Structures are given as C-alpha cells and as structure tokens.
C-alpha cells in the first residue's frame, strides 16, 4: 500500500533544504535527492512544485493544530487554557519549528494562497483565545508576543538568551491565567 511515510519523508527533505540552503535551492531534483527518491518518484507523489509546497503547508498546519488542541484539552486550567497552550507549544516547540518556518517562506515565495490553511488556523485560535475567560486584548497581546519570538527566530534577528526568554515565558504564562 505504499508506505505513507514516503510522502512525509519528502516533505521533511523539502523543509530541510529551505531552512539550510534557502528557497532558491528548493528544486525538485534537490528535494528528490535529499529524500532519496528519484525525480520521477517525487513527481508521482507531488505532481508539481506547487503541490509539494502545498503539501508542506498542509502537513505542518495539521501537526500544529493537533499539538495545540491536545495541550488545551489536557489543560486543567479554567481560564486561559487556549492562550496558555499556544504559548507553551510555541515556546517549547515539541513540533519542528523549522518546518513551520520553511513552509511559510516557501508558500509565500511560490504562491500566497498556499498560506490559507495557516490563515484558517489563526482564525480558529483567535476565536478560541478571545473566548478563553480572560481579557481578550490582553490575550491577544500574549499571542502577539509569542509570534514576535517567532519572527525573531525566523530571521534570526534578536535571539534572546535562554534566561531572558525564560523570564518572558514565565510572565506571559502568569498573565494568561490572571
């Protein structure tokens, strides 16, 4: 039945190339080589470059959605469980943040519309966060600050020391249940 993992392996290979060598080096041949598949084999799974990038985005969106949802449902909190989960998952990224960054950059480069699954995710989260039992403005600021960390990592701008990052994490988490 053709192991499902093959497709995922290819997606990982694509992410790796984007994060290590940049979007201009994300070619079908390079991806195939990185994944240990022939170019024809890759095209069997993803019939075009755009389909490949679409696959990247959809895959990471599913992963991310699941991580946050699991965390929120396991939470014991009465208030702020969604925003807390968002901060938690994004800070401690148990999922691969490289995949997220690569997927975003690749989609932005190849075709804006491929970002739609991510946009849907954000809409869901924003709704959850605004009905989470805490002040929606504060909750949104907490989310934005978390996204700010992410922007800084994406472009390797101002990497905070672990100490500072820890202090920020603590403060955000404490705000999230006030």
Partner DNA sequence: GTCAAAAAACCGTCCAGGTAGTATAGTGAA
Partner DNA sequence: TTCACTATACTACCTGGACGGTTTTTTGAC
How far apart are the C-alpha atoms of 2 and 34, rounded to whole Å?
19
How far apart are the C-alpha atoms of 41 and 28, rounded to whole Å?
10
- Residues 106 to 125 in contact with its own copies, rule: CB under 8 A: 108-112, 115, 118-119, 122-123
**Binding residue for its own copies (CB under 8 A) from 30, 138, 173, 177?**
138
Chosen from its own copies, DNA, none, partner binding at 147 (C-beta under 5 to 8 Å by type): its own copies
In 3D space, the residue among 125, 64, 119 whose CA is nearest the CA of residue 94 turns out to be 64
Dihedral angle, C-alpha 28, 29, 35, 39, nearest 10 °: 90
* Phi then psi dihedrals of residue 77, to 5 deg: -65, 155
Chosen from DNA, its own copies, none, partner binding at 39 (C-beta under 5 to 8 Å by type): DNA
**Binding residue for DNA (CB under 7 A) from 44, 62, 151, 164?**
44
Query: Which lies closer to its own copies via its Cβ, residue 46 or residue 125?
Result: 125
Establish if 37 lies at the interface with DNA (CB under 7 A).
yes
Chosen from DNA, its own copies, none, partner binding at 105 (C-beta under 5 to 8 Å by type): its own copies
- Residues 5 to 24 in contact with its own copies, rule: CB under 8 A: 22-24
SS3 128: helix
For its own copies, how many residues bind (rule: CB under 8 A)?
41
Establish if 47 lies at the interface with DNA (CB under 7 A).
yes
How far apart are the C-alpha atoms of 87 and 168, rounded to whole Å?
11
CA–chain centroid gap for 91, Å, is: 12
Chosen from its own copies, DNA, none, partner binding at 94 (C-beta under 5 to 8 Å by type): none
Cβ neighbours of 171 (radius 10 Å): 12
**Residue ranges binding DNA (CB under 7 A):** 1-3, 6-7, 25-29, 32, 36-45, 47-50
């Amino acid at each position: 039945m053709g192991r499902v993992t093959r497709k995922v392996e290819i997606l990982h290979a694509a992410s790796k190339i984007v994060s290590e060598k940049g979007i201009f080096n994300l070619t079908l041949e390079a991806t195939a080589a990185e994944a240990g598949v022939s170019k024809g084999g890759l095209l069997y799974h993803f019939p075009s470059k755009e389909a490949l990038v679409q696959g990247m985005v959809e895959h990471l969106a599913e992963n991310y959605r699941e991580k946050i949802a699991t965390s929120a449902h396991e939470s014991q909190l009465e208030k702020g469980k969604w925003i807390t989960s968002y901060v938690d998952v994004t800070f401690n990224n148990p999922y691969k943040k490289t995949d997220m960054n690569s997927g975003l950059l690749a989609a932005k480069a190849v075709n804006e519309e491929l970002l739609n699954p991510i946009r849907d995710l954000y809409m869901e989260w924003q709704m959850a966060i605004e009905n989470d039992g805490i002040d929606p403005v504060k909750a949104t600021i907490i989310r934005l600050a978390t996204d700010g960390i992410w922007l800084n990592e994406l472009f390797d701008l101002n990497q905070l020391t672990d100490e500072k990052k820890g202090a920020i994490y603590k403060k955000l988490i404490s705000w999230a249940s006030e």
